[in-house]
Amino acid sequence: MKPGRAATFGKSAAQFLVGCLRQIVPAKQGTDANAADLLEAVKQWQQVFEHTPVMYFMVDPAGTVINVNTFGAEQLGYTPAELIGRSVLDVFLAEDRAAVRACVALCLKTLDQSHTWEIRKVRKDGSMLWVRENAKAMLRANGGPIVLVACENITERKEAENALRQSEAYLAQAQELSHTGSFGWKAATREITWSKETYRIFECEEGTKPAIPFMLQRIHPEDRLAVQQTTGRAAREGKDYDHEYRLVMPDGSIKYVRAVARATRDASGRVEFVGSVTDITATKEAERRLRDSEQRFRDYAETASDWFWETGPDHRVTQISEHSDTNTAPAGLIGLTRWDIAPDAALEPEKWRQHRAALDAHVPFRDLVYRSKDRNGQPIYVRTSGKPFFDADGAFLGYRGVCTDVTAAIRANQAEDALRKAQAELAHVTRVTTLGELTASIAHEINQPLAAVIANADACLAWLQRSPPDLKAARRSVEWIIEDGRRAGDVIRHVRALAKRSDIEMVPLDANAVVREAVALVQREMASHAVSVRMELSSALPRIFGDRIQLQQVLINLIMNGIEAMADVHDRPRELAIRSQASGDSAMQVSVSDCGTGISEQAIDRLFTPFFTTKSSGMGMGLSICRSIIEAHGGRLSAIPNQERGATFQITLPLHREEAS
């Protein structure tokens, strides 16, 4: 702004006002008194213009500020001199300037017509204020147009409106999140108002006028009468109400709601209700599931052969379930500890020491097996598991758990163990006897040609020691030695063939089926040693040709070896992996892998040698026999150490000729 501009504008503003006044009060030419009166009036109007608590702007058609009153400039943080001569757009937000241009153009197009709008202005410090502008365009004394704008500060009202809208938005979001809508009900006029969430709960199009007939239609037929009685009584007595009922939605689904209303009275004393309606379907479903779960648990508890128990913080029995149809659960246990009940506590001190340590540490325990007595005093075996429970403050209250009578299973296992031991002893005797017979046969069959070899060798020496040596006779002795050697070889081959000979039934077989059957036979053994099996059997494998029983014996032997190899594994899961896959075009392969202690390189070279064993109680015949069976099938058996832990035994068998062709 150039110096003196304000004074110049003041003069032009005065001239503008003089022009305006002359249109109202015609001046007498040449009369000094009239001129003085006119200047006084201009002065008074100028005072009003400068200090009235309304922002006044005068803008030319290009949007340049011609004049602004002091109050208006101060509201924006400026002096009049700082605004005069600038574009009026400078005090508006950039996104609002197009609208300002349109408003100015509208005023210029419609002279002497007032136009009103609300818009934001920007103060010198960057803050904003809302104004309500009333503007009109008129002609100046020289005939040119000018736009007069009066601005009212409505910032407080706008902020209040924005706060109200924000509050309403928060309320709507809170209602949506809590599934709670609000409503108003004038009992006398039956007028109802709903919030947005209430419309959503009733699945009614927002804006539709809610009515009692529509609500009754939505209410479940079995609940309508109760709802009418509750709301009718509340309307007659002017009292609050709180009730729950069901809604039947358009798709046939059921929705549970809770309506709570407070009774008030208007200025005429008529009853009105203000309330909330909450969708409680999820809560009702959770309660139903909880009831079903509780009932299911009660049913299980009442029909199970197990019995449930509870102990206090001192580990003494406080509760035990009763079953009228069984005499298994021990009686008279209230007040006793578990080690008071078990007669084997003194015989297995370490087991019970560990159990009491777990209880004192307040940790869960599983599958503790001990001896006890049933209600008739008969000895039984019990397996029990328990879990600690605490109060809301974390104080230990005791244990809850379940007991199972495992007498039959324990005794069956004992019988199986006895049977296995007897079978093992019988197999041992049989193997020793067979080996003894085989050894005698070998000795008898080989001794004769060996004796002949020695005799012929002695004769050969004698013929050679003659002078001159009888080479012809010596040659004949050597020929006899060779013949006797061949006889010994024939004996050995015959014995080997005799060892492989058996009454086998060679038929086409599904190798995967043989694997599954073998695994099924050792399931109990794997379970007792906590061994899991992972089978990765290739589908659609061609058939092999072999004896099912012998091949199953081989697999069982390899699986049992794997189980024994993992007996000392405690830091990782005990897992056997059994895989089948094609091996070229004419063979298939079955492998058994364990994660046990593994096999040394030195042991692998001798692993299939008869009488070689890595077991403290083994005879060293199992793998040798397995290899003989596989070789009798035209296959091969090998072993390799795994990269990380354990070993893998691989069986390669030829395919059935019809399958391979």
> What pLDDT, on a 0 to 100 scale, did the predictor assign at position 7?
36
* One-letter identity of residue 477: S
Q: In what order do the strands lie in the sheet with 145-153?
A: 65-68, 55-59, 145-153, 128-139, 115-122
Q: What is the pTM of this model?
A: 0.34
Query: For residue 147, what are the contacts with CB-CB under 8 A and spacing of at least 6?
Result: 58, 59, 60, 61, 104, 107, 108, 135, 136, 137
Q: Name 203's Cβ contacts closer than 8 Å, sequence gap at least 6.
A: 249, 250
List b or e across 585-611, with b for residues whose CB sees 16 or more CB atoms inside 10 angstroms.
Answer: eebbbbbbbbbbeebeeeeeeebbeee
pLDDT for res 452: 81
**Distant-in-sequence contacts of 314-323, Cβ < 8 A, 24+ apart:** 315/356, 315/359, 315/398, 315/399, 318/398
Compute the distance between CA of residue 368 and CA of residue 545 in angstroms, rounded to an integer: 48
**What is the pLDDT at residue 133?**
93
Q: What is the 3-state secondary structure (H, E, C) of 333-374?
A: CCCCCHHHHCCCCCCCHHHHHHHHHHHHCCCCEEEEEEEEEC
Cβ-based neighbour number of residue 304 at 10 Å: 14
As annotated, the residues of the chain forming the CATH 3.30.565.10 domain(s) are: 507-660
Closest of 226, 206, 205 to residue 216, by C-alpha: 226
**8 A C-beta contact, residue 278 and residue 258:** yes
Query: Omega before 468 cis (within 30°)?
Result: yes
Measure the CA–CA gap between 15 and 331, rounded to whole angstroms: 118
DSSP code of 437? H
Measured between alpha carbons, how far is 460 from 657 in angstroms, rounded to an integer? 52
Q: What is the DSSP letter of 27?
A: P
| 304-405 placed in CATH 3.40.50.300 | no
State residue 432's pLDDT score.
Answer: 44
- Topology (CATH level 3) of domain 411-500: Helix Hairpins (1.10.287)
pLDDT of residue 493: 58
Tokens of 92: 């508006």
Q: How far is CA 631 from CA 287, 455, 636, in A?
A: 68, 38, 6
CB under 8 Å to 524, separation ≥6 — which residues?
Answer: 416
Q: Which of 1, 177, 171, 182 is nearest to 83 (CA)?
A: 1
pLDDT of residue 575: 93
Instruction: Please name which of 360, 267, 277, 353 lies closest in space to residue 313, comparing C-alpha atoms.
Output: 360
Show the DSSP H helices in 4-127 as ranges.
5-24, 32-51, 70-75, 80-83, 97-109
Note the Cα 563 to chain centre separation in Å: 35
Residues of the chain within CATH 1.10.287.130 domain(s) are 411-500
Paired residues of 490 in beta bridges: none
528, 566 in Cβ contact below 8 A? no
| Encoded tokens for 162 | 């924005």
Q: From the centroid of its chain, how far is CA 160? A: 46
The DSSP bridge partners found for residue 5 are: none
Cβ atoms of 4 and 11 closer than 8 Å? no
Alpha helix ranges (H) inside 466-502: 471-500
Q: What is the pLDDT of residue 424?
A: 43
Report the alpha-carbon angle 216-219-223, nearest 5: 105
Q: Beta partners for 185? A: 192, 273
Q: In which element (H, E) is residue 641 found?
A: strand 636-641
Instruction: Taking the CA atoms of 635, 641, 642 and 648 in sequence, report the sign of the dihedral they define.
Output: positive
d(CA 19, CA 13): 10
Distance separating alpha carbons of residues 57 and 135, to the nearest angstrom: 9
DSSP letters, 125-181, are TS-EEEEEEEEEEEE-TTS-EEEEEEEEE-HHHHHHHHHHHHHHHHHHHHHHHHTEE
2 phi and psi angles, rounded to 5 deg: -80, 150
Tens-digit pLDDT profile for residues 251-273: 999 999 999 999 999 888 899 99
Backbone angles phi, psi at 380, to 5 degrees: -140, 165
Give pLDDT tens digits for 363-379. 999 999 988 877 777 88
Task: Identify the CATH class of 160-285.
Answer: alpha beta
Category of 190 on φ-ψ map: left (φ > 0), alpha (ψ -120 to 50) or beta: left
DSSP letter for each residue of 202-260? HT--TTS---HHHHHHHB-TTTHHHHHHHHHHHHHHT--EEEEEEEE-TTS-EEEEEEE
Of 1.20.140.10, 3.20.20.370, 3.40.50.2300, 3.30.565.10, the CATH number of 507-660 is 3.30.565.10
- C-alpha to C-alpha distance for 621 and 431, rounded to whole angstroms: 9
Residue 124 exposed, middle or buried by CB count within 10 Å (0-12, 13-18, 19+): middle
What's the rounded Cα separation, in Å, for the pair 49 and 71? 9
The pLDDT assigned to 20 comes to 47
CATH fold, domain 5-153, is Beta-Lactamase (3.30.450)
User: What local confidence, expressed as pLDDT, does residue 59 receive?
Assistant: 93
Q: From the CB of residue 230, how many other CB atoms can be counted at a distance below 10 Å?
A: 16
Q: Which residues of the chain have pLDDT under 50?
A: 1-18, 20-30, 324-327, 422-438, 440-441, 494-495, 497-501, 619
Q: Delimit the CATH 3.30.450.20 region(s) of the chain.
A: 5-153, 160-285, 304-405
